[in-house]
Amino acid sequence: MRKNCNALSIISALLISLFIYVFYRSEETVVNEIMILILSFDRYIELKRAVTDAIPLGGPVVFSLPGGLWVFCVTTLSKNFFIKVSNFKVQIVRVPVFFAIGLEFCQLLHFTNGRFDLWDLVFYVSFWLLAAYPFRFHESEQNILSPFTIHGFTCLACFASVYLAHVIR
């Protein structure tokens, strides 16, 4: 039952993020470039305009919520995984929030595209706490790479999905 609830939460969060990216973010993101290839630029713009007129969103919902939802998803998926680096055992559950915050500071220092936003940090930490603590269960821990499972693949694929939000320049 709990796994079904987690799966539904993850799928819902990813679909909400995809919806926001497709209809409210730049046409230059990788995911929107794919949509344009599938639909054509004119049809995509027409559909985007219809959705944004019907459902006006703004501010933190458009620019910070998707990142927070991504942190929630990856944190939920990574709860029971670790990776060994030399003699250190790194709990993957801690990686999403540090990764997201690190990317935000890379934006602040202009190492990456984008703009530093305190709302992003608030959403990252809030959604990480929501995923990491209230629903801790004590299943056995597993190295994410050995043996390589569909659950591990899904977790790593969710990490890789960050690329879909990348802005092509």
- The pTM assigned to this predicted structure is 0.85
Look at residue 20 in the predicted model and tell me its pLDDT.
96
Write the pLDDT tens digit of every residue in 41-55. Answer: 999 999 999 999 999
User: Binning pLDDT at 50, 70 and 90, where does residue 64 land?
Assistant: very high
Write the pLDDT tens digit of every residue in 21-44. Answer: 999 999 989 899 999 999 999 999
Look at residue 156 in the predicted model and tell me its pLDDT.
84
Q: Which two tokens stand for residue 31?
A: 């995911």
Q: Is the pLDDT of residue 135 over 60?
A: no
Look at residue 166 in the predicted model and tell me its pLDDT.
61
Write the pLDDT tens digit of every residue in 101-130. Answer: 999 999 999 988 888 999 999 999 999 999
Q: Which two tokens stand for residue 76?
A: 């939920």
Average pLDDT over residues 70-99: 90
Quote the CA–CA distance of 109 and 94 in Å, as a whole number.
Answer: 23
In 3-state terms, the chain is what percent helix, strand and coil (to 5)? 65, 10, 25
Comparing 164 with 109, the larger pLDDT belongs to: 109
Query: How far, CA to CA in Å, does 90 sit from each of 78, 84, 139?
Result: 11, 6, 17
How many other C-beta atoms can be found within 10 angstroms of the C-beta atom of residue 38? 9
Average pLDDT over residues 141-163: 82
